[in-house]
Amino acid sequence: MSEESNPTVVIDTNRGAIELEIYADKSPITATNFLELVDKDHYDGLIFHRVIDGFMIQAGGFDRNMNQKTAMKTIKNESFNQVSNATGTIAMARTNDPDSASAQFYINVADNDFLDAKGDQAGYAVFGKVTRGMEVVRDIEESETANEAGHGDVPIEKTVIHSIERK
């Protein structure tokens, strides 16, 4: 698959739109899983629930009331794809189990190469990059946060995902 055939999606939020190129060529398992969730409207109504200034913004798992929405399956980790967690890239969130990613994703707001695979140790799989709307990402990054429903770094003013759609 060439770069020209990589799909584009638009995350429509109450703060503006974020356009992403999805790396179907470099992260096919992760890209397929993400696009299946997009096509099933999994992300509609969810929020960016974890925001750490100078690090990343995370979404895909909670609604505005911090009720968790889980995906039905987990996927194999693709962090050995040689794509770094650089500023503006999107990657899958996971637990300590490398193959536990399901629906939650984050957008890097800094170069976070410490999240990349090292040797035989899995990292966090990058599966795309922001192509438009980095100013929206930066706006979300600057959100004031607090503890809510047992979670830290939760923005006080919610950034709601209205939809994520293929362009």
Write out the chain in H/E/C secondary structure. Answer: CCHHHCCEEEEEECCEEEEEEECCCCCHHHHHHHHHHHHCCCCCCEEEEEEECCCEEEEEEEECCCCECCCCCCCCCCHHHCCCCCCCEEEECCCCCCCCCCCCEEEECCCCHHHCCECCECCCCEEEEEEECHHHHHHHHCCCEEEECCEEEEECCCCEEEEEEEC
The per-residue b/e assignment along 39-67, b for 16 or more CB within 10 angstroms, e otherwise, is eeebbeebbbbbbeeebbbbbbbbbeeee
The arithmetic mean of pLDDT across residues 1-30, rounded, is: 92
For all residues of the chain together, what is the average pLDDT? Answer: 96
Res 143 pLDDT > 90: yes
pTM over 0.75: yes
Length of the chain: 167
- Residue 80: its pLDDT value, please? 97
- Residue 84: its pLDDT value, please? 98
Which residues contact residue 68 at a Cβ distance below 8 angstroms, ignoring those fewer than 6 apart? 61, 62
Which residues contact residue 15 at a Cβ distance below 8 angstroms, ignoring those fewer than 6 apart? 136, 139, 140, 159
71-94: pLDDT as tens digits: 889 999 999 999 999 999 999 999
- Residue 72: its pLDDT value, please? 87
Q: How far is CA 123 from CA 48, 78, 120, 147, 149, in A?
A: 22, 8, 9, 27, 28
117-137: pLDDT as tens digits: 999 999 999 999 999 999 999
- Residue 3: its pLDDT value, please? 54
- Residue 8: its pLDDT value, please? 98
Res 17 pLDDT > 60: yes
- Residue 91: its pLDDT value, please? 98
- Residue 1: its pLDDT value, please? 46
Res 39 pLDDT > 90: yes
The arithmetic mean of pLDDT across residues 130-149, rounded, is: 98
